[in-house]
A and B are shown apart, each in its own frame.
Chain A
Amino acid sequence: MNAAPPRIHYLNANYSLWSWLVTTDHKRIGILFMISITLFFFVGGGAAVLFRLELMTPEGDLVISETYNKLFTLHGIVMVFFFLIPSIPAVLGNFLIPLMIGARDLAFPKLNLLSWYLFMIGGALTIAAILAGGVDTGWTFYTPYSSTYSNTQVMTAAIGIFVTGFSSILTGLNFIVTIHTMRAPGMTWFRLPLFVWAHYATSLINVLGTPVLAISLVLVALERGLGLGIFDPKLGGDPLLFQHLFWFYSHPAVYIMILPSMGVVSELVACFSRKRVFGYAFIAFSSLAIATLGFLVWGHHMFVSGQSAYAGMIFSFLSMLVAVPSAIKVFNWTATLYRGSVELKTPMLYALGFIGLFTIGGLTGLFLATLAVDVHVHDTYFIVAHFHYIMVGGAVMGYLGGIHFWWPKMTGKLYPEWWGRFSAVLIFFGFNLTFFPQFVLGYLGMPRRYHIYVPEFQVLNVMSSAGASILGVGYLVPLAYLLWSLRYGRRAGPNPWNARGLEWETSSPPTTFNFDETPIVTEGAYPYPPLDTAEAERELETIETG
């Protein structure tokens, strides 16, 4: 079906600012989120620029220690809670899930708008905390430092994150209900695109994990504000209780950050290999396995915290298990290329970058799950490198890949392909130069959150800072040409990539209610035509049973 671009679509239906502020259209809310998290990304990135500059020399010459500590705290909080956690779910998930399952909107459109407002209120509170002097606890808020000793704006920031937490709870809830109840006729569970599966798993974590973070932060805020003493060691409180509560959420939260990206990669790899994803069911179930097992490994952040050796062993063991479903995904994506028809368009470059960098980040996660090695590298730059490989090299790459892929759908415009490829390659190189030296630094023993460090670490730090400046420029390029394309970009048809999936069957940009008529689904996801005509029959059989 190839509809001509309609005169009225969700973007031009109403131009007033008010119509955006009270919209309940999932697509518009996705756009609102996109604008907001982009702002937050540059706030967090700006802080990174400052402290990477500071780390060019071992002395503390650019800022004082207090400022340095506030900078990395700001960076961690903003990047995690205000950029990466909402990134793919709230932007692409919001925009695409109803389109992909053939629904007219999410189940609770008003709740969806409320999510955005909660996000903005939480963000405003956190920004207020920064303007009022900043927070210096690190994004992890460990007690008793955060509850008693820090004299910065911990309470405001904690409340900000608490409020934002409800935004992700509501988004997750909305997705689960939508996926359960609003699928178009014929859209059975195993016909769902893997992007939807990934979001389903993510949403489960959102709904079950976030409240635990919320209550931990409430208790910290109550301790500071009202003098309740739940974490206070002076009263006999246990300093590790907070860490258990925090990581009970924050470990699953790392999968909130990576699963949606994995969903995006599945879509991209299928489209640009023009093949059904290899091992569809394995990828779908591995998402659920990750979401479930992910709730059982939080103690691997606490191997040297003073928890018992016995607990350490169990958490180490379970952390090893959680790696297997991730491995399955990586292998299946790679195998999708095999005997495909591969096109290295910008989104595909990001997807392949994701696979490589996520592999490195994930494998170094296994180093950390290995007890004796973690004792050495815990709280060093090795950790910093590990999670940036996954979160920046993996999740952010996936997000950018997804933005490029669905940009024509969202805006009706094509971005300039050459610039797209150029910036993807630039980001890849800048990224590796920034974070690879940090693995070495970490094994050498440079602790993280160090404003002033010993001189022999300087060379590697300079490399890292140099990489960060390339990376920073790399992020500015897409910002520039994507904005440019809004005005000057070529018109995109409904399906510029020749991709399969319900979102490509409607016009670009879609109308407010997505489909003129509710689609009826008759085949599985990724029904790309067989690449080998002689084997068309066999291919069909594979699709049915695979």
Chain B
Amino acid sequence: MNQGFELFPDAGSAYAGDVDALYAFLVAVALLFTFGICFAILFFAVRYRSGSDVPRRPLAVRHIRAIEITWSVVPLLLTMVMFGWGAALYLRQQQPPDDALEIAVIGKQWMWQLQHAEGRREHNELHVPVGRPVRLTMISEDVIHSFYVPAFRVKQDVLPGRYTTLWFQPDRPGEHHLFCAEYCGTEHSLMRGRVIVQEPGEYARWLAGATGDAPAVAGRKLFEQFRCHTCHTKGEAARGPALEGLLGRKVPLAAGGFVVADEDYVRESILNPQAKVVAGFQPIMPTFEGQIGEEGILQIIAYIQSLSAEEAAGEIQQEQPAEPGRAKP
């Protein structure tokens, strides 16, 4: 984070460099046309000033037509380049790589709350290791916010009631600004913080300072506290579907059709279970609206995700002693 006066933002990721290249192209086009037009205006204004002694023979019609076509087509082609280049970069930034580090983000008036997969939580600061893609799953507790890290050239609105995601891959250690870019009320301009990019070892040490549970662990506790496991077990007698490997699965619905289970689907299943009933089950699941907060839901999602991961790694023991339920987050 540069403290002094500057004209160009620092770049904290390879993607930032790519955006800058596109930007440089746009600036070049803009300069070309701006100077071209200004020069033409000044030149004509002087040469053809009223009373000057120059020929003023009008152009022939066929020339006019050729000129009109040229200056319609050339800008059109240029804008198509802009569109194609911009869209290609944008699409690349829509799909996070699979091995991304998962971090949960909650925005609320006027702070950022973040939790790492390993459990460490932080406020208005985000520690990330250098060289690894980081994927943020974000939700707001109140109004719309927007997570913005200029050094990575990325930004994503954070909505109430729905997850949005954002990813980036820092490629050098350092500190960057984190801003809330969507106007969210009185202290909008103070809803900001830092992104601290660390060497992997340093990051690991930092993570080890965690005080709370990892989200998946906290999620499991909630799962037991709210007695989800009474229905969601494995076996014939289970009243609810098994949740192992749920995320990314195509779930058949009682109403017909399928839905691909993503975070929004799980959230909806918890808050409004009857919205999409799984085929072969009764709509008996109660709603947990008002009982589990956004943070708790994110933790349960992390837990269900960990089930999937463990599923893949092999069967696991289910009988860890249940700790006394912690208060609702």
Interface of A with B (CB < 8 Å)?
Answer: 60, 65-66, 69, 136-138, 140, 142, 144-145, 148-150, 233-234, 236, 239-240, 273-274, 278-279, 282, 304-306, 309, 312-313, 316-317, 320-321, 323-324, 327-328, 330-332, 334-335, 337-344, 352, 355-356, 359-360, 363-364, 366-367, 369-376, 378-380, 440, 443-445, 447-456, 459, 530-532, 534-535, 538-539, 541-542, 545-546
Question: Using an 8 Å CB-CB cutoff, how does the interface string of B228-251 with A read, 1 for contact, 0 for none?
Answer: 000000000000000000000000
Q: With a 10 A CB-CB cut-off, give which of B19, B154, B164 has the most chain A CB atoms.
A: B19
Q: Are B45 and A142 in contact (CB under 8 A)?
A: no
A301 to B64, CA, bound (A): 37
Contacts of A355 in B (CB 8 A): 37, 41
Q: How many A-B residue pairs have CB under 8 A?
A: 274
| B157 contacts A by Cβ under 8 Å | yes
Partner of B26, one of A136, A334, A370, A448: A370
Question: B189 and A320: CB pair below 8 A?
Answer: no
> Which of these, A234, A304, A306, A360, contacts B30 with CB under 8 Å?
A360
A148 to chain B, nearest CB (A): 8
Question: With A454-B177, A532-B58 as given contacts, are A324 and B72 in contact (CB-CB < 8 Å)?
Answer: yes
Bound CA span A279–B72, Å: 12
Is B3's CB under 8 angstroms from A337's CB? no
Cα A532 to Cα B48 with chains together (Å): 12
> Any chain A CB within 8 A of the CB of B184?
yes
Q: Report chain A residues within 8 Å CB of B72.
A: 324, 327-328
Q: Contact: A444 with B8, CB < 8 Å?
A: yes
The answer for the CA separation of A530 and B76 in the assembled complex, in Å, is 34
Is B80 in contact with A320, judged by CB distance below 8 angstroms? yes
Closest to B80 in A: A320
Further contacts, 20 of them, CB under 8 A, given A65-B188, A541-B61: A65-B186, A69-B188, A233-B160, A305-B157, A321-B79, A327-B75, A332-B68, A337-B41, A337-B48, A339-B57, A341-B48, A360-B34, A367-B26, A371-B89, A372-B86, A372-B89, A372-B90, A375-B153, A449-B188, A538-B60
> Is residue B301 within 8 Å, beta carbon to beta carbon, of the partner chain?
no
CB distance from A19 to the nearest CB of B (A): 42
- In the complex, whether B96 has a CB less than 8 A from a CB of chain A is no
Question: Residues of A contacting B82 with CB < 8 Å?
Answer: 320, 366, 369-370
Residues on B with beta carbons closer than 8 Å to the beta carbon of A376: 19, 150, 153-155
Other-chain residue from B19, B22, B60, B185 in contact with A136 (beta carbon distance below 8 A): B185
B49 adjacent to chain A (CB < 8 Å): yes
Give Cα A530 to B57, complex, Å.
Answer: 9
Contact with A along B59-77 (1 / 0, CB 8 A): 1110010011001100110
CA distance A140 to B184 in the complex (A): 12
Question: Given contacts A65-B186, A304-B146, A445-B150, is CB(A455)–CB(B34) below 8 Å?
Answer: no
Determine whether the beta carbon of B189 is less than 8 Å from that of A375: no
User: Distance in Å from the Cβ of B22 to the closest Cβ of chain A?
Assistant: 6
B45 and A352 within 8 A (CB): yes
**B64 in contact with A279 (CB, 8 Å):** yes
**Binary interface profile of B, 185-201, with partner A (CB < 8 Å = 1, else 0)?**
11111101000000000
CA distance A274 to B190 in the complex (A): 56
CA distance A66 to B151 in the complex (A): 29
The residue of chain B having its C-beta at the shortest distance from the C-beta of A308 within the complex is B94
Chain A contacts of B23 at CB under 8 A?
367, 373, 443
Judging by beta carbons under 8 Å apart, are B48 and A342 in contact?
yes
A324-B72, A455-B3, A456-B4 known; A373-B181 Cβ under 8 A: no
B56 touches A316 (CB 8 A): no
Instruction: List chain A residues, Cβ under 8 A from B54.
Output: 339
Q: Are B56 and A370 in contact (CB under 8 A)?
A: no
A25 and B210 CA atoms in complex are apart in Å by 76
Find out whether the CB atom of B61 lies under 8 angstroms from the CB atom of A341. Answer: no
24 intermolecular pairs with C-beta atoms under 8 Å apart: A65-B186, A149-B143, A233-B160, A233-B161, A304-B156, A305-B159, A317-B83, A328-B68, A330-B37, A334-B37, A334-B40, A334-B44, A339-B55, A341-B48, A341-B50, A342-B50, A356-B38, A360-B34, A370-B83, A378-B181, A379-B148, A447-B180, A456-B5, A535-B58
Q: Give Cα A337 to B144, complex, Å.
A: 49
* Smallest CB gap from A340: residue in B: B48
A331 CA to B56 CA, complexed, in Å:
19
Q: Is the CB of A532 within 8 A of B159?
A: no
B29 within 8 Å of A (CB atoms): yes
Does B224 have its Cβ within 8 Å of any Cβ on chain A? no
Closest to A60 in B: B189
Q: Are B153 and A546 in contact (CB under 8 A)?
A: no
Q: When the two chains form their complex, are residues B144 and A375 in contact, meaning their CB atoms are under 8 A apart? A: no
- 10 cross-chain pairs, A with B, having the tightest CB-CB distances, nearest first: A445-B150, A370-B86, A372-B89, A371-B90, A337-B44, A320-B79, A233-B161, A450-B189, A376-B153, A531-B56
**Cβ contact of B68, chosen from A282, A334, A364, A379, cutoff 8 A:** A282
Q: Which residues of B contact A282 (CB under 8 A)?
A: 68
Pairwise interchain contact B186-A535, C-beta atoms closer than 8 A: no
Instruction: Point out the residue from A328, A356, A375 that lies within 8 Å of B37, measured CB to CB.
Output: A356
